[in-house]
Amino acid sequence: QQALPNVVILATGGTIAGAGASAANSATYAAAKVPVDKLIAGLPEISKVANVRGEQVFQIASESFTNDNLMVLAKRVSALSKQADVDGIVITHGTDTLEETAYFLNLVVRTSKPIVVVGSMRPGTALSADGALNLYDAVNVAASKDASGKGVLVTMNDEIQSGRDVSKVVNIKTEAFKSQWGPLGMIVEGKNYWFRAPVKRHTTQSEFNIDEVTALPAVDIVYGYGNVPATAIDAFGKSGAKALVLAGTGNGSVADRIVPVLQKLRSDGVQIIRSSRVSDGFVIRNAEQPDDKYDWVVAHDLKPQKARILAMVALTKTNDPKQLQRIFWEY
Ligand code: DAS
For the four alpha carbons of 152, 218, 253 and 230, in that order, the dihedral sign comes to positive
Q: What is the pLDDT of residue 220?
A: 98
Residue 192 CA, ligand 1 centroid: distance in Å: 26
Which residue's C-alpha comes closest to atom 7 of ligand 1?
Answer: 94
ipTM score assigned to the predicted complex: 0.94
| pLDDT cut 90: percent of the chain above it | 93
Contacts of 38 (CB under 8 A, 6+ apart): none
Q: What is the pLDDT of residue 1?
A: 62
Q: What is the pLDDT of residue 301?
A: 98
What is the CB < 6 Å shell around ligand 1? 14-15, 31, 61-63, 94-96, 119, 121
Contacts of 56 (CB under 8 A, 6+ apart): 11, 35, 36
Q: Is 260 exposed, middle or buried (0-12, 13-18, 19+ CB in 10 A)?
A: exposed
Q: What is the pLDDT of residue 123?
A: 95
- Could you say which DSSP state residue 277 is in? S
Going from the first residue of the chain to its last (331 residues), give the mean pLDDT of each consecutive group of 10, the final group possibly shorter.
Answer: 92 94 87 93 95 98 98 98 98 98 99 98 95 98 98 98 98 97 98 98 98 98 98 98 98 96 97 98 92 96 98 98 98 98
- Count of CA atoms in the C-beta half-sphere (13 A) of 138: 35
212-243 pLDDT, tens per residue? 999 999 999 999 999 999 999 999 999 999 99
Q: What is the pLDDT of residue 204?
A: 98
Residue 100 CA, ligand 1 centroid: distance in Å: 13
**Strands, E assignment, 24-110:** 51-60, 88-92
How many Å apart are CA 93 and CA 62, to the nearest integer? Answer: 7
Residue 24 CA, ligand 1 centroid: distance in Å: 18
> 236 near 261, Cβ under 8 Å?
no
Q: What is the pLDDT of residue 20?
A: 85
Q: What is the pLDDT of residue 132?
A: 97
Q: What is the pLDDT of residue 30?
A: 87
Contacts of 322 (CB under 8 A, 6+ apart): none
